[in-house]
Protein backbone atom coordinates (compact mmCIF):
# COMPACT_ATOMS: atom_id res chain seq x y z
CA UNK A 1 0.00 0.00 0.00
CA UNK A 2 1.21 3.50 -0.73
CA UNK A 3 0.03 6.80 0.67
CA UNK A 4 -1.93 7.42 3.82
CA UNK A 5 -4.95 5.25 4.53
CA UNK A 6 -7.79 7.14 6.13
CA UNK A 7 -8.61 5.83 9.58
CA UNK A 8 -12.08 4.37 9.96
CA UNK A 9 -14.50 5.73 12.52
CA UNK A 10 -13.26 5.03 16.04
CA UNK A 11 -16.09 2.65 16.87
CA UNK A 12 -15.35 0.44 19.86
CA UNK A 13 -12.09 2.19 20.80
CA UNK A 14 -12.18 2.63 24.59
CA UNK A 15 -11.32 5.97 26.12
CA UNK A 16 -8.40 6.10 28.58
CA UNK A 17 -9.48 5.35 32.13
CA UNK A 18 -9.49 7.91 34.91
CA UNK A 19 -6.29 6.35 36.26
CA UNK A 20 -4.56 6.35 32.85
CA UNK A 21 -5.49 9.88 31.79
CA UNK A 22 -3.13 11.77 34.15
CA UNK A 23 -0.20 9.64 32.98
CA UNK A 24 -1.12 10.23 29.34
CA UNK A 25 -1.21 13.96 30.08
CA UNK A 26 2.31 13.70 31.53
CA UNK A 27 3.45 11.82 28.41
CA UNK A 28 1.86 14.46 26.18
CA UNK A 29 3.67 17.22 28.07
CA UNK A 30 6.98 15.35 27.83
CA UNK A 31 6.72 14.52 24.12
CA UNK A 32 5.10 17.73 22.89
CA UNK A 33 7.25 19.43 20.28
CA UNK A 34 9.69 16.50 20.04
CA UNK A 35 10.52 14.26 17.11
CA UNK A 36 9.69 10.68 18.04
CA UNK A 37 11.16 7.33 17.19
CA UNK A 38 8.47 4.70 17.70
CA UNK A 39 9.13 1.06 18.58
CA UNK A 40 6.13 -1.30 18.54
CA UNK A 41 5.55 -4.92 19.49
CA UNK A 42 2.88 -7.60 19.52
CA UNK A 43 0.80 -5.82 22.17
CA UNK A 44 -0.18 -3.25 19.55
CA UNK A 45 -1.78 -5.88 17.31
CA UNK A 46 -3.84 -7.69 19.94
CA UNK A 47 -6.73 -5.30 19.26
CA UNK A 48 -6.56 -6.50 15.65
CA UNK A 49 -7.26 -10.04 16.85
CA UNK A 50 -3.67 -11.30 16.81
CA UNK A 51 -2.69 -12.85 20.17
CA UNK A 52 0.74 -12.04 21.54
CA UNK A 53 3.24 -14.39 23.17
CA UNK A 54 3.77 -12.75 26.54
CA UNK A 55 0.97 -10.32 27.35
CA UNK A 56 -1.74 -10.81 29.97
CA UNK A 57 -4.07 -13.61 28.88
CA UNK A 58 -1.73 -14.94 26.20
CA UNK A 59 -1.41 -18.70 25.80
CA UNK A 60 2.11 -19.92 26.66
CA UNK A 61 3.80 -21.19 23.51
CA UNK A 62 7.39 -21.88 22.54
CA UNK A 63 8.15 -20.51 19.07
CA UNK A 64 10.20 -22.70 16.78
CA UNK A 65 13.88 -21.87 16.59
CA UNK A 66 15.85 -21.47 13.39
CA UNK A 67 17.99 -24.46 14.32
CA UNK A 68 14.93 -26.67 14.76
CA UNK A 69 13.43 -25.50 11.47
CA UNK A 70 16.49 -26.20 9.30
CA UNK A 71 17.70 -29.27 11.20
CA UNK A 72 14.59 -31.43 11.70
CA UNK A 73 12.36 -32.39 8.77
CA UNK A 74 9.52 -33.54 11.05
CA UNK A 75 9.51 -30.24 12.94
CA UNK A 76 9.64 -28.36 9.65
CA UNK A 77 6.64 -30.33 8.39
CA UNK A 78 4.78 -29.48 11.62
CA UNK A 79 5.69 -25.83 11.24
CA UNK A 80 4.44 -25.52 7.67
CA UNK A 81 1.18 -27.34 8.46
CA UNK A 82 0.52 -24.88 11.26
CA UNK A 83 1.72 -21.86 9.29
CA UNK A 84 -0.52 -22.77 6.36
CA UNK A 85 -3.46 -22.29 8.71
CA UNK A 86 -2.16 -19.37 10.73
CA UNK A 87 -1.02 -17.07 7.93
CA UNK A 88 -4.64 -16.74 6.75
CA UNK A 89 -5.53 -15.23 10.11
CA UNK A 90 -2.82 -12.58 9.80
CA UNK A 91 -3.75 -11.93 6.18
CA UNK A 92 -7.30 -11.00 7.15
CA UNK A 93 -6.35 -8.92 10.22
CA UNK A 94 -6.71 -5.17 9.82
CA UNK A 95 -5.08 -2.15 11.47
CA UNK A 96 -6.57 -0.85 14.70
CA UNK A 97 -6.74 2.64 16.18
CA UNK A 98 -3.16 2.38 17.44
CA UNK A 99 -1.77 1.68 13.97
CA UNK A 100 -3.74 4.62 12.58
CA UNK A 101 -2.55 6.79 15.46
CA UNK A 102 1.08 6.02 14.62
CA UNK A 103 0.43 6.74 10.94
CA UNK A 104 -1.14 10.08 11.91
CA UNK A 105 1.94 11.02 13.92
CA UNK A 106 4.14 10.16 10.94
CA UNK A 107 1.97 12.05 8.47
CA UNK A 108 2.16 15.10 10.75
CA UNK A 109 5.95 15.08 10.59
CA UNK A 110 6.36 14.11 14.23
CA UNK A 111 8.40 10.93 13.75
CA UNK A 112 11.80 9.97 12.45
CA UNK A 113 10.51 6.49 11.71
CA UNK A 114 8.79 3.40 13.06
CA UNK A 115 10.58 0.22 14.12
CA UNK A 116 8.26 -2.73 14.60
CA UNK A 117 8.96 -6.17 16.01
CA UNK A 118 5.74 -7.37 14.38
CA UNK A 119 5.68 -9.23 11.07
CA UNK A 120 1.99 -8.51 10.34
CA UNK A 121 2.51 -5.42 8.11
CA UNK A 122 -0.36 -3.58 9.83
CA UNK A 123 1.62 -0.35 10.12
CA UNK A 124 1.95 -0.29 6.36
CA UNK A 125 -1.72 -1.19 5.93
CA UNK A 126 -2.59 1.83 8.09
CA UNK A 127 -0.57 4.07 5.77
CA UNK A 128 2.76 4.41 7.55
CA UNK A 129 5.67 4.74 5.12
CA UNK A 130 9.00 4.82 6.98
CA UNK A 131 8.75 1.46 8.72
CA UNK A 132 11.55 -0.96 9.59
CA UNK A 133 10.10 -4.47 9.80
CA UNK A 134 12.81 -5.49 12.25
CA UNK A 135 11.89 -9.18 12.34
CA UNK A 136 10.78 -9.43 8.71
CA UNK A 137 7.34 -9.92 7.21
CA UNK A 138 4.82 -12.73 7.16
CA UNK A 139 3.68 -12.17 3.57
CA UNK A 140 6.90 -13.39 1.91
CA UNK A 141 8.86 -16.65 1.74
CA UNK A 142 12.57 -17.00 0.97
CA UNK A 143 14.59 -19.93 -0.39
CA UNK A 144 17.56 -20.60 1.89
CA UNK A 145 19.62 -21.87 -1.06
CA UNK A 146 19.12 -19.44 -3.95
CA UNK A 147 17.51 -16.60 -1.89
CA UNK A 148 14.56 -16.35 -4.28
CA UNK A 149 11.66 -14.52 -2.58
CA UNK A 150 8.04 -15.36 -3.39
CA UNK A 151 4.80 -14.17 -1.91
CA UNK A 152 3.21 -16.20 0.87
CA UNK A 153 -0.02 -16.02 -1.13
CA UNK A 154 1.63 -17.84 -4.03
CA UNK A 155 3.00 -20.49 -1.71
CA UNK A 156 -0.50 -20.93 -0.26
CA UNK A 157 -1.77 -21.84 -3.72
CA UNK A 158 1.04 -24.38 -4.10
CA UNK A 159 0.36 -25.89 -0.67
CA UNK A 160 -3.38 -26.04 -1.36
CA UNK A 161 -2.61 -28.04 -4.50
CA UNK A 162 -0.31 -30.38 -2.60
CA UNK A 163 -2.76 -30.74 0.31
CA UNK A 164 -6.31 -30.65 -1.10
CA UNK A 165 -8.98 -30.19 1.56
CA UNK A 166 -6.48 -29.78 4.41
CA UNK A 167 -7.61 -26.31 5.51
CA UNK A 168 -11.29 -27.17 5.28
CA UNK A 169 -10.77 -30.38 7.26
CA UNK A 170 -9.03 -28.62 10.14
CA UNK A 171 -11.32 -25.58 10.17
CA UNK A 172 -14.37 -27.86 10.39
CA UNK A 173 -13.23 -28.82 13.89
CA UNK A 174 -13.45 -25.29 15.25
CA UNK A 175 -11.74 -21.89 15.40
CA UNK A 176 -7.97 -21.77 14.91
CA UNK A 177 -5.81 -19.62 17.17
CA UNK A 178 -2.85 -18.02 15.43
CA UNK A 179 0.25 -16.50 17.03
CA UNK A 180 1.96 -13.25 15.94
CA UNK A 181 4.31 -15.18 13.60
CA UNK A 182 1.41 -16.95 11.83
CA UNK A 183 1.92 -20.18 13.77
CA UNK A 184 -1.43 -21.89 14.45
CA UNK A 185 -2.48 -24.12 17.31
CA UNK A 186 -2.70 -27.44 15.47
CA UNK A 187 -1.86 -30.53 17.52
CA UNK A 188 -3.57 -33.34 15.57
CA UNK A 189 -0.62 -35.52 14.62
CA UNK A 190 -2.60 -37.37 11.96
CA UNK A 191 -3.17 -34.12 10.06
CA UNK A 192 0.42 -32.97 10.46
CA UNK A 193 1.95 -36.31 9.41
CA UNK A 194 0.29 -36.23 6.01
CA UNK A 195 0.98 -32.57 5.25
CA UNK A 196 3.17 -32.15 2.15
CA UNK A 197 5.60 -29.24 2.25
CA UNK A 198 6.81 -27.39 -0.84
CA UNK A 199 10.35 -26.80 -2.08
CA UNK A 200 11.69 -23.82 -4.02
CA UNK A 201 10.34 -23.85 -7.57
CA UNK A 202 13.64 -22.44 -8.85
CA UNK A 203 16.29 -24.66 -7.28
CA UNK A 204 14.46 -27.19 -5.08
CA UNK A 205 15.91 -25.66 -1.93
CA UNK A 206 14.34 -25.24 1.50
CA UNK A 207 11.71 -22.53 1.87
CA UNK A 208 11.40 -20.45 5.03
CA UNK A 209 9.08 -17.57 5.98
CA UNK A 210 10.87 -14.28 5.42
CA UNK A 211 11.04 -13.34 9.07
CA UNK A 212 13.53 -13.83 11.86
CA UNK A 213 13.15 -17.02 13.89
CA UNK A 214 14.35 -17.36 17.48
CA UNK A 215 18.05 -18.21 17.32
CA UNK A 216 18.47 -16.26 14.08
CA UNK A 217 20.09 -12.83 13.84
CA UNK A 218 18.31 -9.70 12.68
CA UNK A 219 19.94 -8.52 9.42
CA UNK A 220 22.56 -5.85 10.08
CA UNK A 221 20.99 -3.37 7.65
CA UNK A 222 17.70 -3.35 9.60
CA UNK A 223 19.51 -2.85 12.89
CA UNK A 224 21.49 0.07 11.45
CA UNK A 225 18.33 1.69 10.05
CA UNK A 226 16.63 1.29 13.42
CA UNK A 227 19.51 2.88 15.31
CA UNK A 228 19.46 5.77 12.81
CA UNK A 229 15.76 6.32 13.52
CA UNK A 230 16.44 6.44 17.27
CA UNK A 231 19.53 8.63 16.88
CA UNK A 232 17.62 11.11 14.71
CA UNK A 233 14.83 11.48 17.24
CA UNK A 234 14.44 13.57 20.38
CA UNK A 235 12.63 10.78 22.26
CA UNK A 236 11.70 7.12 21.97
CA UNK A 237 8.11 5.88 22.35
CA UNK A 238 7.78 2.12 22.95
CA UNK A 239 4.29 0.69 22.49
CA UNK A 240 3.12 -2.86 23.04
CA UNK A 241 6.45 -4.59 23.54
CA UNK A 242 7.57 -6.54 26.59
CA UNK A 243 11.16 -5.93 25.40
CA UNK A 244 11.97 -9.48 26.40
CA UNK A 245 14.38 -10.10 23.53
CA UNK A 246 17.51 -8.03 22.96
CA UNK A 247 16.54 -7.19 19.38
CA UNK A 248 14.05 -4.68 20.81
CA UNK A 249 15.53 -3.95 24.24
CA UNK A 250 18.74 -2.50 22.78
CA UNK A 251 16.87 0.56 21.47
CA UNK A 252 15.46 1.95 24.74
CA UNK A 253 18.79 1.17 26.38
CA UNK A 254 20.56 3.08 23.63
CA UNK A 255 18.11 5.97 23.85
CA UNK A 256 18.59 6.28 27.61
CA UNK A 257 22.37 6.06 27.25
CA UNK A 258 22.32 8.94 24.76
CA UNK A 259 20.16 11.09 27.01
CA UNK A 260 16.83 10.77 25.22
CA UNK A 261 13.58 10.38 27.17
CA UNK A 262 11.94 6.97 26.82
CA UNK A 263 8.20 6.42 27.18
CA UNK A 264 6.88 2.86 27.46
CA UNK A 265 3.20 1.96 27.05
CA UNK A 266 2.43 -1.70 27.62
CA UNK A 267 0.08 -4.00 29.47
CA UNK A 268 2.24 -5.45 32.22
CA UNK A 269 5.93 -5.04 33.07
CA UNK A 270 8.67 -4.96 30.45
CA UNK A 271 12.34 -5.84 30.57
CA UNK A 272 13.10 -2.21 29.76
CA UNK A 273 11.10 -0.53 32.51
CA UNK A 274 14.33 0.75 34.06
CA UNK A 275 14.97 2.83 30.92
CA UNK A 276 11.61 4.61 31.02
CA UNK A 277 11.18 8.27 31.88
CA UNK A 278 7.46 7.46 32.07
CA UNK A 279 5.87 3.98 32.04
CA UNK A 280 2.13 3.55 31.44
CA UNK A 281 0.40 0.22 32.04
CA UNK A 282 -2.53 0.61 29.68
CA UNK A 283 -4.12 -0.48 26.44
CA UNK A 284 -1.85 0.40 23.56
CA UNK A 285 -4.29 1.23 20.76
CA UNK A 286 -6.36 3.73 22.74
CA UNK A 287 -3.22 5.30 24.23
CA UNK A 288 -1.63 5.83 20.83
CA UNK A 289 -4.84 7.25 19.45
CA UNK A 290 -5.01 9.65 22.39
CA UNK A 291 -1.41 10.78 21.83
CA UNK A 292 -2.04 11.26 18.10
CA UNK A 293 -5.08 13.40 18.91
CA UNK A 294 -3.07 15.52 21.36
CA UNK A 295 0.26 15.81 19.54
CA UNK A 296 -0.68 15.95 15.86
CA UNK A 297 -2.04 19.25 14.58
CA UNK A 298 -5.67 19.06 13.39
CA UNK A 299 -6.20 18.37 9.70
Active site residues: 135
Would you say 123 and 99 are in contact if contact means Cβ atoms under 8 Å apart?
yes
Residue in 124, 134, 137, 130 with CA at minimum distance from that of residue 233:
130
Residue in 240, 181, 237 with CA at minimum distance from that of residue 47:
240
Would you say 241 and 270 are in contact if contact means Cβ atoms under 8 Å apart?
yes
Distances, alpha carbon 158 to alpha carbons 140, 145, 165, 200, in Å: 14, 19, 13, 11
Burial class (CB in 10 A: 0-12, 13-18, 19+), 44: buried
Amino acid sequence: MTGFASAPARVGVPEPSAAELPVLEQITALLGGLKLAILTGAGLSTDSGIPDYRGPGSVPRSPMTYQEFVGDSALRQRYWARNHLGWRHLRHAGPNAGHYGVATLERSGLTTGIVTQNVDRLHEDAGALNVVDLHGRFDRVVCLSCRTVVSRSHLADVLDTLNPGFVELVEAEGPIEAAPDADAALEQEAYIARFVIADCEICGGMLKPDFVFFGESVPKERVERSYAIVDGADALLVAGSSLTVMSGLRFPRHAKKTGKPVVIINRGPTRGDDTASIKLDAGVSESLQYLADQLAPPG
